[in-house]
Structure 1
Amino acid sequence: MIQWWQIILLTIYAGFQIMDELHWYSSAGSAVFSGFITGLIMGDLATGLLIGGSMQMAILGVGTFGGASRIDANSGTLIATAFAVSANMDWQVALSVIGVPVAAILVYTDIAGRMANTFWGHACDADIEKMNWNAYNFHYWMGAVSWCLSRMLPVFLALAFGQPLVEAITVALDGDLKWLGDGLTLAGGMLPAVGFAILLRYLPVKKHIAYLILGFVIAALLGTAFSSIVTVAGDVAILGGAVTLPEGTALVGGSYKGLSMLTIALIGFALAYIYYQQHQNAPVAAVSAGAEGDDEDEL
């Protein structure tokens, strides 16, 4: 069960995160930060970071351009993490069954917040014309209150009264509907890839393909290097006497891999392509410069 103090803290954070997203920009109004804070409050930081990170990846290519509303990934992460921890639910299932639907539904509360804020904005305009600064301050802060309530109210209602429903869903997905739960787990694992694909769709990938290849290769190499460092550290601990091996166990506990030919080829291709892009117009520029010099000599 979610404790009353956890509901209060999470409700307060729900209001804080939307204000941070709109005004303060400290990154506390992001899905991954929402998972971090909710995980701390619920006592399971790993689950919070897994759900928050996956939700963050899913919305990488989504933005609120103009006055458009988008899914509320922050509140979806908050509610999914809270229920995943309290109901002992698999985090990927919680992300698919709770996080994404809640984030989509809260689009309507976002619209309600925008409508209320428009009302208070017109009130502020009228106060400026009348030079009624006390009323202006009141209406200005009421706009902030309307934004906070657009998140705090649904989050509070979901956390306070949604626990029995979530527990019933968990039991069903672990029982007769296990096939559905397995499918939702797979869908939850695909969400980060979908978000990354959306992001690539809007980035100038064709123009900067070389840097994309280099980034991918470097990230893969860093993962391999980290694994090798862990292996080396374990072997050093054994040699130093900090760890005792059972009899008959080999000293080297892991494998050390060099760069594959594919990795070298990708790096070479990326560097060659960057060189080509930087120098493809150099001959044209040189010819133009020479022609200008000839013209000056003639004059």
Structure 2
Amino acid sequence: MDIQWWQILLLTLYAGYQILDSITISSSMDSPVFAGFISGLIMGDMVTGLIIGGSMQLTILGVGTFGGASRIDANSGTVIATAFSIGVGMDPQVAIAAIAVPVASLLIQTDILGRFTNTYFLHRIDTNIEKLNFKGITFNYLMGIVPWSLSRMIPVFLALAFGGGVVETAVNFMNEHLEWLSNGLATAGALLPAVGFAILLRYLPVKRHIAYLILGFILTALFATLYTNIISLGTAMTGVSKDFAQTFNSLPMLAITFVGLAFAILEYKRSTSKTVAVAENHSNMIDEGGEIDDDEL
């Protein structure tokens, strides 16, 4: 399956949109998992797109743009990896390690170029502010879309338009002569989400909420073991009796999500109640004239 011209066009347009959504619109269409969904939908295989997008989402869980710093462009990496994985038949895990992560890292440079180019319009906005030229302010603000979008659209277009043959040749060579390398890349791609979790745990207040972390891990492990045993039992019963047609499903991640949501709600209510109590105690120490009654405060 080749990548068609209209697929390249749609993926390029989405690449330009997703960075704008990230910095202004904020509709969540700039996340890697959404990039995988859109790319998979355009390429005709949403499952592969969601596998790559979800893996990249987990990989950057703990990576932030603190102070406006540039970070790896996981969205563009997801778009290109999904397109090539589906277009040339590359294993999703191999595509993550061999394409998504390197491309995402490389596009840090285009992100910096986009930021640098956009300063031209920022200075023009400053000049128009001094002149109270509101139309000029609006025009230059909107023109800032151009460098931001092109910083993603150009690399994605060039990769999809001219890199297909190279990637297909490389994939065929790896499958025929470098199977060990393909297996290694697949293993590395599968490990990347664990790296994302490790980075995230490094920044989260784990020590303060260690009880929730332990309880959540144990509940997940217990449910996973329980569901696995039930599925095994159901499979065995089906082999013994043809009349036994009950369907057993695996552990739904939505259930685990709701367990985590319940813990988050409990913690939020506890923190909110504590804040309100502190505020009430503080207000009780001050009389109507503004004097503080408690001289120990």
Same fold (TM over 0.5): yes
| Cα displacement (A) at 1:67 | 2.2
After superposition, the C-alpha distances for 1:213-238 in whole angstroms (9 at most, x for unaligned) are 11122333444565578789999xx9
- 1:49 matched to which residue of 2? 50
> What SS is found at the alignment partner of 2:154?
helix
Within 2, Cα distance between the matches of 1:93 and 1:254?
33
Unaligned runs of 5+ in 1: 239-244, 256-273, 275-299
Structure 1 residues 118, 175: CA separation in 2 closer, same or farther (over 3 Å shift)?
same
Within 1, Cα distance between the matches of 2:213 and 2:239?
45
- 1:122 matched to which residue of 2? 123
Q: Which residue identity does 1:168 align to in structure 2? A: T
After superposition, the C-alpha distances for 1:132-184 in whole angstroms (9 at most, x for unaligned) are 23322221111112111111111111111110111011012102221111111
Within 2, Cα distance between the matches of 1:233 and 1:134?
69
> What SS is found at the alignment partner of 1:29?
coil
- What are the residue-to-residue correspondences of 1:170-185 with 2, within 5 Å? 170-185=171-186
Structure 1 residues 226, 16: CA separation in 2 closer, same or farther (over 3 Å shift)?
farther
- 2:286 matched to which residue of 1? none
Within 2, Cα distance between the matches of 1:15 and 1:225?
45
CA contact (8 A) 1:231 1:254 kept: no
- 2:144 matched to which residue of 1? 143
| Cα displacement (A) at 1:246 | 7.6
Length-normalised TM-score, structure 2: 0.77
Q: Which deviates further from its counterpart, 245-254 or 174-183?
A: 245-254
- 1:83 matched to which residue of 2? 84
Give the number of the structure whose alpha-carbon radius of gyration is greater.
1
Q: Which residue identity does 1:79 align to in structure 2? A: I
- 2:68 matched to which residue of 1? 67
- What are the residue-to-residue correspondences of 1:189-208 with 2, within 5 Å? 189-208=190-209
Within 2, Cα distance between the matches of 1:251 and 1:12?
51
Cα RMSD (Å): 2.8
Within 2, Cα distance between the matches of 1:57 and 1:103?
14
Within 1, Cα distance between the matches of 2:62 and 2:226?
30
Within 2, Cα distance between the matches of 1:233 and 1:96?
37
- 1:279 matched to which residue of 2? none
Structure 1 residues 225, 22: CA separation in 2 closer, same or farther (over 3 Å shift)?
farther
Q: Which residue identity does 2:6 align to in structure 1? A: W
CA contact (8 A) 2:56 2:193 kept: yes
Runs in 1 of length 4+ with deviation above 6 angstroms? Answer: 228-235, 252-255
